[in-house]
Amino acid sequence: MALKRFIATALPEIENELQTQIARLDHARLNLFHEMLTYHMGWTGAGAGAEATGKRIRPILVLLAVASCGADWQIGLPAAAAVELLHNFSLVHDDVQDNSDKRRNRSTVWKKWGVPMAINVGDALFVLANQAVLDLEKALPAATVARAASILNEACLDLTRGQYLDMSYEERFDLKIEDYWPMIGGKTSALLAACTQMGALIGGADEPTQQNYRQFGHHLGLAFQVQDDLLGIWGDEKITGKSAASDLTEGKNSLPVLFALEKNAEFAKRWRQGPIGAEEVGEIAAVLEREGARTFALEASQKETDKALGFLEQAQPAGAAGEALLELAKMLLKREQ
Amino acid sequence: MALKRFIATALPEIENELQTQIARLDHARLNLFHEMLTYHMGWTGAGAGAEATGKRIRPILVLLAVASCGADWQIGLPAAAAVELLHNFSLVHDDVQDNSDKRRNRSTVWKKWGVPMAINVGDALFVLANQAVLDLEKALPAATVARAASILNEACLDLTRGQYLDMSYEERFDLKIEDYWPMIGGKTSALLAACTQMGALIGGADEPTQQNYRQFGHHLGLAFQVQDDLLGIWGDEKITGKSAASDLTEGKNSLPVLFALEKNAEFAKRWRQGPIGAEEVGEIAAVLEREGARTFALEASQKETDKALGFLEQAQPAGAAGEALLELAKMLLKREQ
């Protein structure tokens, strides 16, 4: 309940802040450039609307962290916009790198306007993220702003590290479980860790509390990604919105897959023979499950969930925002229910 | 002489600072990723060396601006590294966007490692630029650091604006002279303006002086670009290192071309008929010259040069560094001699 109420209040202000940041590109000669960004953000063009914008989980995490440290969440809006812009930068470039035609049921930016333009749209979202975080200066001392910018940059660098690992793994068949965590740490966790840490920083928490918030976000990200991996193989199509086992046909190096590759039995043999067709996925998912990959991933997810909730407890988030943060964490970690 | 002496002292320290910044990616799992960056920077791989690194003009501009305001240039090293990293980010993405196989006689990053990796290499250089500028914190107050980061970000956003215009112009045949300046302002001038402004900020200059430095860099960039356009059509191949008139065969929307398109005479008619072959360039360059495009561009370059030198004079750069800055400006503006 606390979460629902918070989202209802904060979401319009998040959208408003995002629009203000992106309006930096709203000039006479740049109409189409600006439109490329507003299209990607889900505000304009075919299929625009709530389905297209995504849930803005990351800005909400920032603002709840701010508020649960006892500060006014509105001072965190520029940071909330920054993390969402950064997330969207990575999506636009990801779509080019993965050659993906669709995102949230709409054509991707590169599909609509070509690769060169899409690279530039991603770059612009990246710059806007950096500019947004500097807008914290309106309400906070320069030293805090510089610290927030530094946290954001570290997450950006982790994103590029994770992206590199992800791409370099595509050509490798000798991957092990230990190769999974640094990739996921960069691609998913780093930004969530930055969200909760920045929120605590902005909220005025002391350094140990900031670290507890950071660790909460980090393990939340890891648990979330493992859940995502599980849903990508054994998820209910009707609930996930993705076709079942699409991660297998796409050759994604998810945790269950790496577990089975390390095991080097029936699944590993088939995986090395080349792409898996849609007609085989049911059988291959069953092989994976027999080899213990599902159980292993479920346990890993549970372990990370426990760690995340442990750090959140140590952070002692206060008030209705604290409740809402716990609700959000639980919601993210039990997505199938 | 002052310039030569300064470069001899500062260049090794610039390279050292750049290597320190890029070493953030030097980890066990990331060897190849790190190598992609060191290759692009000209330090490793086939053809590595002074020819491959470029002249590091932008960092030298930053440091001379710092020193000519009376401060120790070494405090500006993180900012110097930042502008060079940012410049190189834009080169890596540019090469993908323009489908260029070669840069400084070496294979481009995308040509060696593919487009997805090159996008990520560019992104990483971009993040490293942002992190580098925050390292100013070691010697300067947080408010100055935040201001420097803001100047750098504004230049980044201008880069994406200029890049958008450049790409969008490729499909247009109705371009006018007035379309030239915003493109070049973004693609070339914005970063040079940021170099000189940041240098003055770091050097402790007051706000009006910072603005004089900024305007100096801005007009220096415009004059430099117009010179580059002239050399790209009428330059001496032996001196420029580019094949003569390559800008014409590549269809570049340079100032002489836009002048002639606006004139809408013989050149414009030929331009609209499609790509210009290597065998025609001599003749077409002569048409352009007859239509007054060369004279127009020479005058524009002279006008911007005068403005640049005027602002530099107003900025009152001091000492040997001030002399070196004037030398550098003159060198950049008379590249054929």
Amino acid B235: pLDDT: 85
Query: Which chain B residues contact residue A82 at CB under 8 A?
Result: none
Query: Which residues numbered 118-137 in A keep a CB inside 8 Å of some CB on B?
Result: 119-120, 122-124, 126-128, 130-131, 134, 137
Which of the 8 DSSP states describes residue B185? Answer: I
The answer on pLDDT for B172 being more than 90 is no
CB contact under 8 A, B127 and A153: yes
CB pairs under 8 A between A and B: 143
Helices of type H across chain B: 2-22, 31-40, 50-53, 57-68, 77-97, 109-113, 115-134, 142-169, 180-184, 190-202, 207-234, 237-240, 246-249, 255-263, 266-272, 281-290, 293-315, 319-333
Query: Which residues numbered 75-94 in B keep a CB inside 8 Å of some CB on A?
Result: 93
Query: Which chain B residues contact residue A154 at CB under 8 A?
Result: 131
Give per-residue pLDDT as tens, B33-82.
999 999 999 999 999 999 999 999 999 999 999 999 999 999 999 999 99
Give per-residue pLDDT as tens, B216-229.
999 999 999 999 99
Q: How far apart are CA A49 and CA B271, in angstroms?
A: 43
* CATH code given to domain B2-333: 1.10.600.10
CB contact under 8 A, B131 and A150: yes
Q: Is A238 exposed, middle or buried (0-12, 13-18, 19+ CB in 10 A)?
A: exposed
Beta carbons of B311 and B266 less than 8 angstroms apart: no
- Domains of chain A, by residue range, sit at 2-333
Amino acid A336: pLDDT: 46
Q: Which residue of A has its CA nearest to B116?
A: A97
Q: How far apart are CA B222 and CA B87, in angstroms?
A: 16
- Give which of B145, B166, B28, B6 is closest to B78, Cα–Cα: B145
Q: Which residue of B has its CA nearest to A141?
A: B143
Which one of B87, B153, B158, B183 makes the best mutation probe of the A interface by having the most chain A beta carbons within 10 Å? B153
Q: What angle do CA B326, B331, B334 make, to 5 degrees?
A: 125
Distances (CA, A) of B225 to A196, A224, B222, B337: 45, 49, 5, 16
Nearest-Cα distance to chain B for A159, in Å, is: 9
CB-nearest to B157 from A97, A124, A159 is: A124
Q: Which residue of A has its CA nearest to B92?
A: A119
B100 in reach of chain A (CB within 8 A): no
B249 in reach of chain A (CB within 8 A): no
CB contact under 8 A, A127 and B156: yes
Mean pLDDT to the nearest integer, B280-285? 92
Amino acid B269: pLDDT: 94
CB contact under 8 A, B29 and A165: yes
Give per-residue pLDDT as tens, A8-64.
999 999 999 999 999 999 998 999 999 999 999 999 999 999 999 999 999 999 999
- Give which of A237, A240, A239, A292 is closest to A261, Cα–Cα: A292
Query: Which residues numbered 277-336 in A keep a CB inside 8 Å of some CB on B?
Result: none
Q: How far apart are CA B317 and CA B305, in angstroms?
A: 17
pLDDT under 70: residue ranges of chain A: 237-245, 335-337
Tokens 């493992």, residue? A226
For A143, phi then psi, to 5°, come to -65, -40
Q: What angle do CA B243, B246, B247 make, to 5 degrees?
A: 145
CB-nearest to B168 from A32, A163, A165 is: A32
Amino acid A170: pLDDT: 87
Nearest-Cα distance to chain A for B234, in Å, is: 29
Query: Which chain A residues contact residue B179 at CB under 8 A?
Result: 29
Sorted by sequence, the CB contacts under 8 Å of residue A204 that are 6+ apart come out as: A69, A70, A71
For A107, phi then psi, to 5°, come to -60, 140
Query: Which chain A residues contact residue B159 at CB under 8 A?
Result: 123
The complex's ipTM? 0.94
Amino acid A236: pLDDT: 76
Q: Which residue of A has its CA nearest to B166?
A: A117
A139 in reach of chain B (CB within 8 A): no
Residue B3 CB neighbours (<10 A): 20
Nearest-Cα distance to chain B for A303, in Å, is: 25
A20 in reach of chain B (CB within 8 A): no
Pairing of β A102-103 and β A106-107: antiparallel
Q: How confident is the model at residue B337 (pLDDT cuts 50, 70, 90)?
A: very low
Amino acid B336: pLDDT: 46
Which one of A86, A113, A157 makes the best mutation probe of the B interface by having the most chain B beta carbons within 10 Å? A157
CB-nearest to A119 from B30, B33, B119 is: B119
Amino acid A241: pLDDT: 58
CB contact under 8 A, B149 and A153: no
Q: Is the pTM of this model over 0.90?
A: yes
CB-nearest to B117 from A30, A157, A167 is: A167
Q: Which residue of A has its CA nearest to B125?
A: A157
Amino acid A244: pLDDT: 61
Beta carbons of A76 and A66 less than 8 angstroms apart: yes
Tokens 């260049």, residue? B11
Residue B77 CB neighbours (<10 A): 27
A246 in reach of chain B (CB within 8 A): no
Query: Which chain A residues contact residue B30 at CB under 8 A?
Result: 161, 164-165
Query: Which residues numbered 149-188 in B keep a CB inside 8 Å of some CB on A?
Result: 149-150, 153-154, 156-157, 159-161, 163-165, 167-168, 179, 182
Nearest-Cα distance to chain B for A249, in Å, is: 20
Q: Which residue of A has its CA nearest to B21?
A: A157
Amino acid B335: pLDDT: 58
CB contact under 8 A, A167 and B120: yes
CB contact under 8 A, A24 and B157: yes
Tokens 């080899």, residue? A291
CB contact under 8 A, B145 and A146: yes
Beta carbons of A97 and B110 less than 8 angstroms apart: no
Amino acid A235: pLDDT: 85
Amino acid A337: pLDDT: 37
Q: How confident is the model at residue B245 (pLDDT cuts 50, 70, 90)?
A: low
Q: Report DSSP letters for A1-25, one per residue.
A: -HHHHHHHHHHHHHHHHHHHHHGGG
The answer on pLDDT for B244 being more than 80 is no
Please give the radius of gyration of chain A, using alpha carbons only, rounded to the nearest integer: 20
Give per-residue pLDDT as tens, A76-88.
999 999 999 999 9
